[in-house]
Amino acid sequence: MKINNRLCNIKEYHFKEIDDIKNKMIAQGKEIIDFGIGDPDISVHKDIIKGLVDSLQYNDFNKYPPYDGINELKKAIIKYYREIFQVYLDMDEVLVLIGSKEGISNIIPAVCDIGDYVIVPNPRYPVYEMCSYLWGCKPYKVPLKEKNNYLIDLSNIPDEIRKKSKLMIINYPNNPTGAIANNKFYNEVLNYCIQNDIVLCNDSAYNEIIRENKEPVSLLQTDLRKKSIEFGTFSKTFNMTGFRIGYAVGNRKVLKALLKVKSNLDSSQFKAIQYAAVSALNIGRDYIKHIRKIYDDRRNIAEEILKQKGIRFYKGDGTFYIWCKVPSSYTTDELCREFLSSYGIIVTPGYAFGDLGHGYFRIALTKDRDVIYKTLNRLRVYN
């Protein structure tokens, strides 16, 4: 039986493998603490649940939603960008997605032809590279280095790649490193893409998961002419990973092309979930501050214990991850296996995010502070 030969470039999604290992060990009666996948453990706010339930009484709640999303949600996203980023959007500059992961995949055929290059970071969220292959494009991986605070270095892009690229995907706040960007960086990368006729996309899934003393930054604050696209999601900030609801904002021409792809592949997200997202945006900023405080507390506890255990890490200001260095006496696999077999701890090996992740591992702070304290304190001291 013949199958798509592009699948040869694609491995099974790493976090499915982690789930399989975890479930097998739990079935054997072992206690496992999963610091692997970034699936928040915080309860969904009651207003979000109410918005979901109340919408089931609306007329036509069960009918096909608009392909670009309900107007109520688009207006709420417009209000959010205006109040938080002082960015003014029109209705055709907002597109509702079935989670940002879907939009990141579908932006590739919306912009690129088969054989075009897509510039992606390394290390990176795996979807950028895998979906490039799926759509018949070639990912060009630009190294992110700690000495540059994991900001993409445009000088590492060869001229021949630059000329053959139509799309660049960046991700700040950055998964897996926790690095954040600033307007100066956004201006540099935006000008590069405009000069080279490359569509720039920022995956800002963690734009509100930042340290309490930081302000969220949007690519569109720099891109006043809206030449770029920014993806957002309700998954991380509002603990709605299973809801599958996100958005893309920015250049209306690119969004129109993305909608053309989407309208042929899906029929948008269930209206009730979109109304739940409206309720999320109406909760207020005190809730965001509360979420940040929780993750700051967890991060501070984890960082202090990691120092005591002799594990070096990058002190990022964003996301709920900590990007850690594997001790020199171990390979990545050796350390991850020891964590699991000796301490019942699952972490994500850095190479799940690209070859430059060898020698690193990622901790997700998606467990209660007391669980983090108790679990990480089990570790021995690594010299």
- pLDDT tens per residue, range 233-278: 999 999 999 999 999 999 999 999 999 999 999 999 999 999 999 9
- Does the pLDDT value for residue 288 go beyond 60? yes
Report residue 360 as tokens.
Answer: 């690193």
Let me know whether 242 and 367 are in one domain.
no
Residue 383 lies inside a defined structural domain of this protein: no
Let me know whether 209 and 347 are in one domain.
no
For the CA atoms of 106, 189, 186, 356, what is the dihedral angle to 10 degrees? 70
Let me know whether 162 and 200 are in one domain.
yes
Let me know whether 212 and 317 are in one domain.
no
Let me know whether 248 and 336 are in one domain.
no
Last residue of a domain, one of 283, 307, 335: 283
Residue 79 lies inside a defined structural domain of this protein: yes
Let me know whether 135 and 206 are in one domain.
yes
- Does the pLDDT value for residue 13 go beyond 80? no
Residue 176: domain span: 46-283
- Does the pLDDT value for residue 43 go beyond 80? yes
Let me know whether 173 and 62 are in one domain.
yes
State residue 181's pLDDT score.
Answer: 97
Let me know whether 274 and 300 are in one domain.
no
Q: Considering the chain, what is the average pLDDT of its residues?
A: 94
Residue 340 lies inside a defined structural domain of this protein: yes
Residue 225 lies inside a defined structural domain of this protein: yes
Summarize pLDDT for 189-244 with one digit per residue, the tens. Answer: 999 999 999 999 999 999 999 999 999 999 999 999 999 999 999 999 999 999 99
Let me know whether 226 and 100 are in one domain.
yes
State residue 121's pLDDT score.
Answer: 98
- Does the pLDDT value for residue 8 go beyond 80? no
SS (H, E, C) 327-379: CCCCCHHHHHHHHHHHHCEECEEHHHHCHHHCCEEEEECCCCHHHHHHHHCCC
State residue 30's pLDDT score.
Answer: 77
Residue 65 lies inside a defined structural domain of this protein: yes
- Does the pLDDT value for residue 127 go beyond 80? yes
- Does the pLDDT value for residue 33 go beyond 80? yes
Instruction: Give me the percent of the chain exceeding a pLDDT of 70.
Output: 97
State residue 95's pLDDT score.
Answer: 98
Summarize pLDDT for 309-325 with one digit per residue, the tens. Answer: 999 999 999 999 999 99
Task: Grade residue 137 by pLDDT with cuts at 50, 70 and 90.
Answer: very high
**Overall domain count for the chain:** 2
Task: Grade residue 10 by pLDDT with cuts at 50, 70 and 90.
Answer: low
Summarize pLDDT for 72-119 with one digit per residue, the tens. Answer: 999 999 999 999 999 999 999 999 999 999 999 999 999 999 999 999
The domain spanning residue 169 has which CATH number?
A: 3.40.640.10
- Does the pLDDT value for residue 25 go beyond 90? no
Let me know whether 61 and 112 are in one domain.
yes
Residue with tokens 């892009």: 157
- Does the pLDDT value for residue 14 go beyond 60? no
Bigger pLDDT: 24 vs 185: 185
Let me know whether 189 and 153 are in one domain.
yes
Residue 315 lies inside a defined structural domain of this protein: yes
Using CA atoms, how far residue 300 sits from 1, 182, 296, 337, in Å, is 53, 23, 6, 25
N-terminal to C-terminal alpha carbon distance within the chain: 52
- Does the pLDDT value for residue 12 go beyond 70? no
State residue 185's pLDDT score.
Answer: 97
Bigger pLDDT: 138 vs 16: 138
Cβ atoms of 201 and 104 closer than 8 Å: yes
Let me know whether 209 and 358 are in one domain.
no
